[in-house]
Amino acid sequence: MEVRIVRSKKRRKTIQAREVDGTLEILAPATMSDAELQPFIDKLKRRVDRRKAKAELDDEALARHAAELNRRYFDGKLRWKSIRWVTNQNRRHGSCTPQKGTVRISHRIAPMPRFVRDYVIVHELAHLVEPNHSKRFWKLVYRYPRTERARGYLMAVQITELEE
């Protein structure tokens, strides 16, 4: 994304970002150097990218797909209050809060192959029954036949990310 910096003598401290015709416009104090501004620009770019990524994801489609996986692998017995995509999980693939019935799936999973997305959803849904990683939990997860393959894929992705 192209960045355009607009400096103003009226601005004293605040830095603001907005997208204008596909360009990230940074509004900054005139006294701030490019070097001082760069960490803020990086942070604002990441924020805009996360918002865009989230806007492209469909929580309703995710909920429908989770319901199908629930029927297929849990006999439709699981119940939850919400399942949604999130952009604030950069180390986890997903998370579940069984007490609240909430499931969150990282936006980083969206572009991965379907069998990997399905595994992550099944894994998080299994936490609604077993809130830990006990043998009983893994027995539930392994109802999904491509569990080993998906776990291997995710491990390979993590290794690649560490090397970058």
Same domain, 98 and 43: no
Same domain, 28 and 104: no
- What total number of domains does the chain contain? 2
Same domain, 95 and 158: yes
pLDDT in tens for each of the 164 residues of the chain?
789 999 999 998 899 888 888 888 999 999 999 999 999 888 888 887 777 766 678 999 999 999 999 999 999 999 999 999 998 888 899 999 999 999 999 999 998 999 999 999 999 999 999 999 999 999 999 999 999 999 999 999 887 666 65
Predicted model pTM: 0.71
Q: Is the dihedral of CA 158, 146, 139, 71 positive or negative?
A: positive
Domain that holds residue 78: 59-163
Same domain, 50 and 125: no
- Token pair recorded at residue 153: 């894929």
Output the domain CATH number for residue 86: 3.30.2010.10
Same domain, 145 and 125: yes
Same domain, 24 and 83: no
Same domain, 41 and 90: no
Same domain, 112 and 153: yes
